[in-house]
């Protein structure tokens, strides 16, 4: 296992085989995200992006109580007390979310326990969300008087539709994993003891598949949920053409004819 050195110990980044693991590491505060954690996320994503051996990334929370319970409000007096501090803090959170949502490799959220507020916003940036049965989800903005911008609302609405989005924001209550499965907010719900194994199986299955195909598919889906005027369909077509021109396309055909497992190299 390769450990990536970071500027904070509240985040962990490790590479095991072809899977990158990003861990929110503040279990004593249910992995509430502090300023230094927000700052570390783009650095971690950049490391995973630059490493060709990494084909899929999993986000998880340390311990067994939470994925991420939201922002670390205890530091707001120090970090978000003035106009300039608010601007600097918001720039860090924006950069973190942009890094996650523009990440070109598959991103899985492994959710155990609380996935609340900013934690849910982080999970929404994943391509696949897998929760254990004890997962709890919610956006308590209406209980705090907090405003949510269009991008965050739209991102949630793309997954669950307008009616469930309104229910989540209007009530501010916590939703169980089974409720979020019904909404389409998570992909799968499994027993707690099976969560790690299930996520590892998903990650390994994805990492064995053709990286160029997955990259093109991810971009096509992401462009498809944008407003039509913002879609870069030319780029999608270019990525599809790269698939057909790749050595992996030839390897896939040969493996099929030879009835063996393909060995894709991402080129």
High-pLDDT (> 90) share of the chain, %: 86
Selection from 192, 173, 201 nearest residue 63 by Cα: 192
Residue 195 · residue 112 · CB < 8 Å: yes
Q: Which pLDDT value is given to residue 75? A: 82
pLDDT band at 159 (very low <50, low <70, confident <90, very high): very high
**146 burial via Cβ count (<10 Å: 0-12, 13-18, 19+):** exposed
Euclidean distance between the first and the last CA atom of the chain, given in angstroms as a whole number: 25
Class of the domain covering 2-207: alpha beta
User: Residue 144: what pLDDT?
Assistant: 80
Beta 66-68 vs 114-116: how paired, if at all? parallel
Q: pLDDT class for 256, splitting at 50, 70, 90?
A: very high
Pairing of strands 56-61, 175-176: unpaired
Mean pLDDT value of segment 39-59 = 97
pLDDT of residue 81: 74
List the one residue out of 133, 92, 126 whose CA is nearest residue 109. Answer: 126
Q: What is the pLDDT of residue 73?
A: 81
What are the domain boundaries of the chain? 2-207, 210-258
What are the tens digits of pLDDT across the range 205-214?
999 999 999 9
**What is the average pLDDT across 145-154?**
85
């Amino acid at each position: 296992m390769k450990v990536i050195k970071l500027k904070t110990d509240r985040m962990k980044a490790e590479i095991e085989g072809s899977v990158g693991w990003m861990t929110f590491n503040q279990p004593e505060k249910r992995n509430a995200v502090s300023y230094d954690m927000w700052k570390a996320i783009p650095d971690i994503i950049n490391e995973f992006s630059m490493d060709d051996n990494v084909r899929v990334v999993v986000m998880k929370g340390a311990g067994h109580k939470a994925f991420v319970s939201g922002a670390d409000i205890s530091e707001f007096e120090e970090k978000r007390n003035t106009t300039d501090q608010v601007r600097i803090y918001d720039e860090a959170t924006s950069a973190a979310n942009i890094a996650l949502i523009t990440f070109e490799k598959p991103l899985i959220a492994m959710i155990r326990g609380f996935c609340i507020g900013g934690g849910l916003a982080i999970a929404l940036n994943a391509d696949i969300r897998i929760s254990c049965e004890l997962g709890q989800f919610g956006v308590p903005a209406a209980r705090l008087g907090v405003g949510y911008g269009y991008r965050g609302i739209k991102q949630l609405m793309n997954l669950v539709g307008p009616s469930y989005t309104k229910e989540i924001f209007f009530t501010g209550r916590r939703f169980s994993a089974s409720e979020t499965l019904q909404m389409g907010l998570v992909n799968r719900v499994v027993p707690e003891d099976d969560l790690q194994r299930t996520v590892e199986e998903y990650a390994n299955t994805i990492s064995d598949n053709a990286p160029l195909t997955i990259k093109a598919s991810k971009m096509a889906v992401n462009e498809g949920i944008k407003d039509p005027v913002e879609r870069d369909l030319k780029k999608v077509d270019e990525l599809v053409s790269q698939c057909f021109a790749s050595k992996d396309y030839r390897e896939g055909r040969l493996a099929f004819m030879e009835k063996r497992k393909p060995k894709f190299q991402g080129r």
